[in-house]
Structure 1
Amino acid sequence: MTPFKLAQPIYVKGLAGEMNTLTGYTCAIEADAAKSYTLFITGASYYRIYLDGEMLHYGPARGPHGYVRCDTLTLPVKSGRNILAIEVEGCNCPSFYTMDVRPFVQAEVMADGEVIAYTGRDFKAVSLVGLREQKVLRYSYQRAFTEVWRMTSPLADWKNGEYPAAETEISQHGKVYLMRDFAMPDYTFAPDAAWEENGTFRLRGSDAHAKNRFLQPGPDVTSFQPEELADRVLDDTDADFTADDRITGTLTAGQYARFALAHIYTGFIRVKVRVLEPATIHVVFAERIRNGRIDFGNGDCSWLNIIKYELPVGEHMLESFEPYSLKYIGIMVNAGRVEAESAGLRQFAYPAVKPEIRIDDPMLRAAYDAAFEGFRQNTIDCYMDCPGRERGGWLCDSYFTAQASKLFTGSTECERAFLDNFRLPERFPKLPLGLLPMCYPGETLTGNSIPQWTMWYVIEVGGFKARGGDAAPFREVLAKILAFFESYENADGLLEKLPLWNFVEWTRANQWVQDVNYPTNMLYHKVLLVMADILERPELCDKAARVKAEVIRQSYDGKYFHDHAKRGEDGSLTLLDDISAICQHEAALFGVV
């Protein structure tokens, strides 16, 4: 059942099946100051909402396969005519950050609860492919595309609604509607970045840089062919940089300005420039400086922190469509004359208020402040492992973030919404029943997952219950998970030869995961205890005790736990000499010792 009263899901006709499209939708609202105005909206892949040119919101929150999440916004209208504009990105690019869902927008405006405008009747549409270049490089393996903007396009002022209307078509997406659940993000501006230096740059030439695999189409990389690309942002930014304090004021071709924020932030990059002659600039950014330059990526690393703008003469306040993580911002001028007036960022973070705790030790204070920033930047619509390169909702990482979440928000609501994303689908594409995606909401690009991360999900549900959450809705998914792992138990009751990407940690321990991996079985011991509690099956406690005893009997040599044993051709298990620190750690963490 739809929560929308009248709105239809629409997209510009003919574009819904294409990669990396951008479309716009505007609606004029004649507002009565005595009434309250609300926008109810959902869509895919992502949208940006403006009222009279002022950005209000970026959404929607991510949901699981088969579902879409809806946003509700109060519109700060003025009396009289207001222009609501919605900018919708259609990726059609499966990644850790974007679901493989055909793009659409569905929205209705209400005045005191009565629908006065809705998609399918009152919103005028336009293709913005001429404003934001469609055929561009990927941003990273984990995210979709880079941004190239042609602000010389007549569509640069599309938000005023003065453009020829494009035909739209109804999107039969067939999704179930969910509410956002996560709090609306903090969009406040970070303090302006401080100017650091001006200088010159010299391009190295197209043969000077390597090309990471995400820059080329492949079995697990959806992208454009190199010959389709209209812009060569990699070639036009791969340069040697030299600071020059003689360069002040106006920048010309081959010159740059560098700015630094107070610390790493996540959000939408903003630069204000005054263009004296038609210009081409590249805004480059990164969290760090490496070898004297902003580490924005030159093809040999796993991201491409570059936004290109083609600009006419005039004042421009430029803001990225996508959120990024950064401290340093560079403005490279490839053509024209430009005055770089300011650089900064609109934050995109969880609206948590930092608990005031007296910490006299400066190192502990710095660690606490960094932990809070890390939490709020990684908690928007799921628990992410990093808010820049990936924006992926990784299990295992989430187990630890969830504990901070309760401390920083006083609630388990963020965690419930995150855990629900894994609970709601009947099963996941390309994965066996009972095995969860390792990173979600997003797409399983190669049909791979980490079975240990599914076990960490179980432990997180146990922690969620201990923190006051209701674990009853998770019984069904936990039962599926238990059935999956029970199918890999050997005659000793231990897990053996788990499929797909077995992962313990980024050390040599990851080379010692077969055939019987003892850190994994220590984890399984803990999983069974959590299952016994939530599923109300006390016999699983006895099973956990047998797993614990067998792990100790097989892997403990009186001093250390060994990591794994191999199954021989004669059917016997041979304990190998490999011993890792993580194996000892997990023995303690999961109650084996």
Structure 2
Amino acid sequence: MITPALTWYTIDQLKDIEPENPYHKETQPKELRKFGVENLHVLARSTFTVDQTPSEYTLYLSADDYYKLYINGNFITQGPAPAYPEKYYYNKIDITPYLLEGDNVIAVHLYYFGAVNRVFNSADGRFGVAAEIVNEQTLTSTSLAWKHMISNAYSGETVGYTVQYLEDFDSRKWDEEWNQLAFDDSTWEEMSLAQWADYQLIEQPTQTLAIKEQPVELISEISQGHWKVDVGQEVTGSLVLRAKGASGQKIEIRCAEDLDENGDVHYDWPQKIKYQEFWTLADGECRLEAYEYKGFRYAELIVDEGVELLEVKLLLRHYPMDEALCTLTSSVPNLDAVFQLCKNGVRLGTQEGYIDCPTREKGQYLGDSMITSRSQVWLTGKTDMLRKCVDQFAQTRTISEGLMSVSPGSYMQEIADFSLLWSQLLMTDYSFTGDKEFLRTYYPTAKGIVTYFKTFERQDFLLEDVYEKWNLVDWPQEFRDDYDFDLGGADVMNDPVGKGCHNVINALYLGAYKVLNQIETILDLPLTPGWDTLYQSFLKVFYNEQTKLFIDAEGSNHSALHSNMYPLYFDFAPAEAKETMTNLLIERGFNCGVMTTYFIMKDLARAGRKDVVYQLLISEEENSWMNMIKNGATTCSEVWEKTKKWNFSFCHPWASAPISIIIEEIAGITLNPDTSDGFVFQPAVPDEVDIFSLTVPLGEKRIVVYKDEDGKVSIKYETIR
């Protein structure tokens, strides 16, 4: 086995610059140097000779920000997953099936975003490619040198929160044969060696994306040269188009997640995502080369007179998911529909990380990931994406010991609630794997979070004025159940949290502290002292002995859902108050955002009210997953319906709590790494559900929970092939 010695190559324009460090705490903004390079597309080629002796070849490949790989004209894969340069990824690719005896060409379409965003660690001046080929029989390696050309075929403005450049594509400036062996690259320039010292390259711990091209069947002509496309449901990907026309003729491409009140493609609505692009044709037949992906369902194609539209296909992309591994079939249509809605959302929302949405942000948010990761592990049986997520947020300790809330992009945002939930990500891995060594590796991060928040303790050890981070409680604001405290806004510099001491941040602090002690117990480490004293202060300030509820803030008389869900979730509510608090949750229902439903349903299940959990899952009330479906969603969405948020996203997997709730609380597969099977079977399938069959992967087996002809809920095991 050879450890690759990857060498970076870049373009002359960037080879001699000192890379910029974009890291900073949110309350300490920094002005980044401008390099005059954004939205850069570079085509690069390298030739490679294969002798006549049969051999297996592995390509080790990385690029910053991104690559798409072709060998002898065949598209192979793309990557790497976004990462920080201090722990950057390369992909290990078996290229043997694509090679020919003799000369071969390896071609990459490279991209540099060049602006601060939530996806790539960009705007730092680092752009390049690194590659090496290893002959697995002889264990010899070949480094690749590159020739390149900067492509001017792409132009456009940014959309969303500066997460994507629109792609106005000009086929007159594009040669479709650029990745073929016979292409003449004699006029291309050689790439230069880069001199970056801080890259630490490791093999990407997750698979590369699953990418699939498929036909589109629902196409209708609205009028002459005006076509409407419906791909059937929300997707992440791009349209693949072929057309024939004269040089300079255009096709306008509009994409959107929904239709407006007139049934037209709603591409221009106030959500900061306006998917309107123009394709300029060359003479003859052309192919649209989309690089970036979108989240959409509908499209309009408006073609110039005389242009012939030859082909419309769809290119889908997401992290690999075998959809047959985890399935639900029951006699309750609502239950099945909600499960599938959330499954679709997790599939599309797991790209090369757990993205919050595939449209305006595309970032991996810590709080969102806590919900999405649990769903995704259940659906796939794999923890590689979860572990990458745990690690990438742990890396942000170098920026703030209290962690950043977006990782690994260059956008610096901090949310206190999310930081305090990071240890839940770590414990999700332990729940599924029982791996104490992984737990031990990241224990310092869990302790560091508690240490960071200690700096905001007042004399009685409660947190006060946590001004450095956004105090979220729930989002959007109208789903905070009238929480009685000035939380400020998302802009912590200009709209910080109000002065004083409030419940949710302290409840989450107690939770993080308690989980830290649990980790220390599992690892046989000395317990970090102080939790009991902190708890007594929490009771003294926030517990109302008359109502047996927790109040929102010091001096308040109001008790929101959110002030009571976390004491129940972390199991530090007084025994005398649990019934009253549970009744509050039942009475208020989902008077909250979609993410926090996970905690409410867990609380109700723990209190023995799984009957209520089931009813919430299949509910058709305004705040329900069925209401999302009624409003046209095919993936779980950002809020209950689009009228509730001005920049609503139809795909937002932080709403996927039903996946884990159905599996764990209804089917009854309760994770417990201390048992031989890794779980305890405690089914709670209601009697009214006549048919119930759930399959789910866990470890090396697939578990089947089913209701037999006698109405008994049973379990069996199948081997995963």
Structure 2 residue 45 is matched with structure 1 residue 77: no
SS for the counterpart of 1:141 is coil
Structure 2 residue 444 is matched with structure 1 residue 476: yes
SS for the counterpart of 1:85 is strand
Give the AA of the match of 1:531.
L
Cα distance, 1:517 vs. partner? 1.4
Cα distance, 1:280 vs. partner? 1.5
Partner of 1:22: 41
Q: 1:386 aligns with which of 346, 352, 357?
A: 357
State whether residues 151 and 309 of structure 1, in contact with CA within 8 Å, keep that contact through their aligned partners in structure 2.
Answer: yes
Paired residues for 1:102-117 under 5 Å:
102-112=126-136, 114=139, 117=142
Partner of 1:196: 220
Cα distance, 1:457 vs. partner? 0.6
State whether residues 137 and 145 of structure 1, in contact with CA within 8 Å, keep that contact through their aligned partners in structure 2.
Answer: yes
Q: Deviations over 1:33-71 (max 9, x none)?
A: 822232211111111111233322121112235221001
Partner of 1:232: none
SS for the counterpart of 2:463 is coil
Q: 1:151 aligns with which of 158, 168, 171?
A: 171
Paired residues for 1:366-405 under 5 Å:
366-405=337-376
Identity of aligned residues (%): 18
State whether residues 11 and 168 of structure 1, in contact with CA within 8 Å, keep that contact through their aligned partners in structure 2.
Answer: yes
Distance 1:472 1:531 in 2: 11
Partner of 2:685: none
Paired residues for 1:327-342 under 5 Å:
327-333=297-303, 335-342=304-311
Q: 2:458 aligns with which of 490, 515, 519?
A: 490
Distance 1:477 1:259 in 2: 48
Q: Deviations over 1:389-420 (max 9, x none)?
A: 22110011111112112211223222111111
Query: CA distance change for structure 1 residues 400 and 295 in 2, over 3 Å: closer, same or farther?
Result: same
Partner of 2:192: 169
Give the AA of the match of 1:396.
G
Give the AA of the match of 1:347.
L
Cα distance, 1:426 vs. partner? 5.3
SS for the counterpart of 1:519 is helix
Query: CA distance change for structure 1 residues 472 and 488 in 2, over 3 Å: closer, same or farther?
Result: same
State whether residues 83 and 120 of structure 2, in contact with CA within 8 Å, keep that contact through their aligned partners in structure 1.
Answer: no
Alignment: residue pair count: 514
State whether residues 193 and 342 of structure 1, in contact with CA within 8 Å, keep that contact through their aligned partners in structure 2.
Answer: no
Q: 2:72 aligns with which of 39, 52, 57?
A: 52
Cα distance, 1:350 vs. partner? 1.7
Q: Deviations over 1:55-99 (max 9, x none)?
A: 221211122352210011122325344332101001121100121
Query: CA distance change for structure 1 residues 297 and 33 in 2, over 3 Å: closer, same or farther?
Result: farther
Q: 2:561 aligns with which of 563, 581, 585?
A: 581
Query: CA distance change for structure 1 residues 341 and 362 in 2, over 3 Å: closer, same or farther?
Result: farther
More helix by share: 2
SS for the counterpart of 1:189 is strand
Cα distance, 1:191 vs. partner? 4.4
Q: 2:120 aligns with which of 98, 108, 119?
A: 98
Distance 1:322 1:303 in 2: 14
Distance 2:267 2:14 in 1: 31
Give the AA of the match of 1:549.
Q
State whether residues 373 and 386 of structure 2, in contact with CA within 8 Å, keep that contact through their aligned partners in structure 1.
Answer: yes
Structure 2 residue 403 is matched with structure 1 residue 436: yes
State whether residues 63 and 130 of structure 2, in contact with CA within 8 Å, keep that contact through their aligned partners in structure 1.
Answer: yes
Cα distance, 1:273 vs. partner? 2.2
State whether residues 269 and 319 of structure 1, in contact with CA within 8 Å, keep that contact through their aligned partners in structure 2.
Answer: no
SS for the counterpart of 2:279 is strand
Q: Which moved more, 1:547-556 or 1:471-480?
A: 547-556
SS for the counterpart of 1:289 is coil
Partner of 2:312: 343
Structure 2 residue 535 is matched with structure 1 residue 548: yes
Q: 1:181 aligns with which of 190, 205, 208?
A: 205
Distance 1:184 1:498 in 2: 39
Paired residues for 1:22-41 under 5 Å:
22-31=41-50, 32=52, 34-41=54-61
Distance 2:307 2:14 in 1: 35
Cα distance, 1:538 vs. partner? 5.7
Partner of 1:208: none
State whether residues 272 and 315 of structure 1, in contact with CA within 8 Å, keep that contact through their aligned partners in structure 2.
Answer: yes
Cα distance, 1:325 vs. partner? 1.4
Structure 2 residue 322 is matched with structure 1 residue 353: yes
Distance 2:286 2:174 in 1: 15
For the aligned residue pairs, the C-alpha RMSD in angstroms reads 2.5
State whether residues 464 and 501 of structure 2, in contact with CA within 8 Å, keep that contact through their aligned partners in structure 1.
Answer: yes
SS for the counterpart of 2:418 is helix
Give the AA of the match of 1:339.
E
SS for the counterpart of 1:420 is helix
Query: Can you give the 5+ residue segments of structure 2 that lack an aligned partner in the other structure?
Result: 16-34, 488-497, 574-721
Q: Deviations over 1:83-129 (max 9, x none)?
A: 3210100112110012124111001233336556533x3x321111x
Cα distance, 1:520 vs. partner? 1.5
Distance 2:141 2:199 in 1: 24
Q: Which moved more, 1:476-485 or 1:90-99?
A: 476-485
Paired residues for 1:225-236 under 5 Å:
none
Q: 2:255 aligns with which of 285, 310, 316?
A: 285
Distance 1:403 1:59 in 2: 24
State whether residues 253 and 299 of structure 2, in contact with CA within 8 Å, keep that contact through their aligned partners in structure 1.
Answer: yes
Q: Which moved more, 1:528-537 or 1:401-410?
A: 528-537
Give the AA of the match of 1:14.
Q
Partner of 1:504: 473
Q: Deviations over 1:167-197 (max 9, x none)?
A: 3222223211121111222112244241034
SS for the counterpart of 1:293 is coil
SS for the counterpart of 2:566 is helix
State whether residues 41 and 107 of structure 1, in contact with CA within 8 Å, keep that contact through their aligned partners in structure 2.
Answer: yes
Distance 2:53 2:216 in 1: 34
Paired residues for 1:459-474 under 5 Å:
459-468=424-433, 469=435, 470-474=438-442
Q: Deviations over 1:446-478 (max 9, x none)?
A: xx4112211111222123222224211112222
Q: Deviations over 1:515-555 (max 9, x none)?
A: 21111111111111111122456644x63343333333322
State whether residues 191 and 262 of structure 1, in contact with CA within 8 Å, keep that contact through their aligned partners in structure 2.
Answer: no
Cα distance, 1:263 vs. partner? 1.2
Structure 2 residue 542 is matched with structure 1 residue 519: no
SS for the counterpart of 2:366 is coil
More strand by share: 1
Give the AA of the match of 1:486.
K
Distance 1:586 1:535 in 2: 21
Distance 2:173 2:85 in 1: 36
Give the AA of the match of 2:54.
A
